[in-house]
Structure formats: structure tokens, C-alpha cells
Amino acid sequence: MNPLRELLRASPARARVLPYVIILVITSLFQDSFGEEARYWIYFGKMILGALCIWEMRSLVPEMKWAFSWEGVAAGVAVLLIWVCLDPYYPKFEALFKMGEPWNPFKHFGEGSAMGWFFFWVRTIGSAVIIPPIEEAFFRSFLYRYCVRTDFEQMPLNRFHPTSFIVVSLFFGLLHFQWIAGVLCGLIFQWLVLRRNRLGDAILAHAITNFLLGFWIYWKGEWQFW
């Protein structure tokens, strides 16, 4: 018996909530609590666990499917520009975040080292492939609809509810250090779901933003984004 599968199958809500909670708990309580080198390995383990969650979620969250559209691509690039261009112009939300050393595997393992590149790609690919489906299933599929009705599966993905639209986007943003960019990001991703009546375009946009952000960070040396 697979205990993770049994936990996720307990309810439609749990299938969408539990993977996000697992990732959030590991990030907030463990990832930066055991020294500089451990944080990289903990992140690697977190991505493996996230991949297992996605594998088990695939039949339980039918809307969690990637989809391609020009709106998704454009939104992903737009969010990247918002994230990096707004950064110098507003105070960051430090209440929920430990302000230690930025994630920079090349500083720790050595510039151009094999381990530095390994963890660079772990972070870049993990944030582009693992994080988007888990976060979009929680915020855009579950939380947005659950704020309107508890039997959330009966609410179409393209139903607009102004209060939920604003509240969920604010909550999404405040869980990020770059909170203003995070709020705008939440609004854009939720708009994609409403426009396309599916989750896949938001997953695509989220993935494009995170993937391109990894290259931006390396190119510009702006490791504070990680």
C-alpha cells in the first residue's frame, strides 16, 4: 500500500492541498535550518518528493494537465519582466522569510564546478516542472473555488468571482518575498485559468517564468531572486 497515494485519495481537497503543504513545510521549516550545504540537498529531496506527489495526483486532479497557448507563453514572459523590473522599487515582505545567504550553488561549491551546475539545474528544472503543477492545483483549482463554495469541484474553472480573485491572488503574493510581483503574478495566472477554462495554461506560464528566471539569475548574478 502506498501511504502517499492513500492520503491523497482521502478527498478531492486533500489531493490538491497536501502536496502544496508538504512543499511549504519543507521550505519554511527545514530547507535552511541545517547549514549551507544541507539546504541544496534538502531542496533536491523536496523536488523528488514533489515529483512523487505529482505522479500520484495525476488521476486524482484531472484538470492538472499542461496546455499550450500563446496567452500562456506571453503571460509567462510578462510575469518574468514584472518580477525582475519591479524588484528595486518596493520593500520586500520579510515577516515570513529567513534572510540568510541567497541560494548560489556556485558560491558554495565553486564557480563552474560540477556540483554548482548540478544544483543550478535542480533549482531551475524543479521550479519549472515540479512547482507549477502543485501550486496551480492548490491556488487556482482548489483555493479559488473553495472560497466560493465548499463543493468546489462543482464550480467551473472559468467562473469569475471578484472577491476570490483578489483574495487568493493576495494570499499567493504574500507567500513570496517579492510580494507585489507575486500578487500581480497571481492575478495573471488566475486570469489565464478564467480565460481558457483550464489549468494547463497557467501551469505553462508559471513554468516559463520560473525557467527563464533561472537563466536571468545566472546571467545577471541576481541570486536574491532565489
Taking only the tens place, the pLDDT of each residue in 84-136 is: 999 999 998 765 555 678 899 999 999 999 999 999 999 999 999 999 999 99
What mean pLDDT is reported for the chain? 95
CB 216 within 8 A of CB 84: yes
Look at residue 46 in the predicted model and tell me its pLDDT: 98
Q: Count up the domains in the chain and report the number.
A: 1
Q: pLDDT > 90: what percent of the chain?
A: 90
Q: Is 96 helix (H, G, I), strand (E, B) or coil?
A: coil
Look at residue 95 in the predicted model and tell me its pLDDT: 57
Spatial separation of the C-alpha atoms in residues 105 and 109, rounded to whole Å: 6
Look at residue 5 in the predicted model and tell me its pLDDT: 87
Q: What are the distances in angstroms from CA 165 to CA 9, 19, 117?
A: 27, 22, 39
What separation, in Å, do the N-terminal and C-terminal C-alpha atoms of the chain show? 37
Look at residue 1 in the predicted model and tell me its pLDDT: 58
Mean pLDDT of 147-151: 96
Q: Please list, in sequence order, all residues whose beta carbon lies within 8 angstroms of the beta carbon of residue 220, skipping any fewer than 6 positions away.
A: none
Q: DSSP character for 90?
A: S
Within a 10 A sphere around the Cβ of 147, how many other Cβ atoms?
Answer: 17
Domain that holds residue 203: 3-225
pLDDT tens digits, one per residue of 150-195: 999 999 999 999 999 999 999 999 999 999 999 999 999 999 999 9
What is the Cα gyration radius of the chain? 17
CB 185 within 8 A of CB 79: yes
Q: Give the type of residue at 10.
A: A
Spatial separation of the C-alpha atoms in residues 44 and 46, rounded to whole Å: 5
Q: How far is CA 52 from the centre of its chain?
A: 16
Confidence of residue 4 (pLDDT cuts 50, 70, 90): confident
Backbone φ and ψ for 205, nearest 5 degrees, come out as -60, -45
Grid cell digits, residue 5: 497515494
Spatial separation of the C-alpha atoms in residues 133 and 121, rounded to whole Å: 18
Instruction: State the pTM of this model.
Output: 0.95
